[in-house]
C-alpha cells in the first residue's frame, strides 16, 4: 500500500524537461539534456537537420570540442572549445563527417542558413528541466553530442 503512495509522490514532484531550437531544428542527434548528451553511432556521424524555410539555400556546419572544467564551488561546467570541423555551402540537410572525431568525447555543433550573400545566425537551443525541487537550464547553446567509446 505504501509503495503506490511513494510512486504517486514522486510523480507529483515531477520530472520535466524541454528543449527549444532556434534557426534550425536538429534531427540527429536529437536535442536533449546538455548534462547527458545523446551518444552518436560512430566517430564519423551523419548530422541531420530540418530544412530552412524558403528555397535555394545552403548550410554551413561547425563542430567544436567541449571543454569541461570543475570546481568544488560550481561543480562541472561545459564550454565551447576549439573548432575541429567546418564546412561551408552544404546543399543538403545532412552531412557525414569526413574525418573521425575522438572517441568518448563531447562536441557541440551548429548550422546556419546561407541564401546568396545573406547568412543567418548559428542555430542554438534553450533547455529547461525541473527535477523535483531542482531547476536546470541552458540558454542559447549550440547542440551537443557525445562520441562512442570505440
pLDDT above 70: residue 2: no
Helices (H), the chain: 2-13
Q: pLDDT (tens digit, 9 = 90+) per residue, 117-139?
A: 899 999 988 766 655 655 455 66
Q: Could you give the percent of the chain with pLDDT greater than 90?
A: 52
- Hey, what CATH class is 22-123+138-146 in? mainly beta
User: Cβ-count burial of 29 within 10 angstroms (0-12 exposed, 13-18 middle, 19+ buried)?
Assistant: buried
* Domain parsing of the chain, residue ranges: 22-123+138-146
Between CA 2 and CA 27 the distance in angstroms is: 42
The whole-number pLDDT of residue 89 equals: 96
Q: pLDDT (tens digit, 9 = 90+) per residue, 8-38?
A: 444 444 444 565 565 788 999 988 777 789 9
Band (7; pLDDT cuts 50, 70, 90): very low
The whole-number pLDDT of residue 5 equals: 52
Amino acid at each position: 500500500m505504501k509503495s503506490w503512495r511513494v510512486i504517486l509522490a514522486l510523480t507529483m514532484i515531477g520530472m520535466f524537461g524541454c528543449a527549444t531550437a532556434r534557426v534550425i531544428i536538429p534531427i540527429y542527434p536529437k536535442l536533449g539534456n546538455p548534462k547527458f548528451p545523446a551518444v552518436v553511432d560512430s566517430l564519423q556521424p551523419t548530422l541531420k537537420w530540418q530544412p530552412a524555410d524558403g528555397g535555394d539555400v545552403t548550410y554551413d556546419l561547425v563542430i567544436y570540442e567541449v571543454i569541461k572544467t570543475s570546481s568544488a564551488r560550481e561543480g562541472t561546467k561545459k564550454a565551447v572549445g576549439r573548432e575541429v570541423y567546418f564546412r561551408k555551402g552544404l546543399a543538403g540537410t545532412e552531412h557525414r563527417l569526413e574525418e573521425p572525431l575522438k572517441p568518448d568525447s563531447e562536441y557541440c555543433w551548429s548550422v546556419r542558413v546561407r541564401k546568396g550573400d545573406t547568412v543567418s545566425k548559428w542555430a542554438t537551443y534553450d533547455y529547461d528541466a525541473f527535477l523535483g525541487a531542482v531547476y536546470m537550464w541552458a540558454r542559447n547553446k549550440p547542440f551537443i553530442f557525445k562520441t562512442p567509446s570505440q
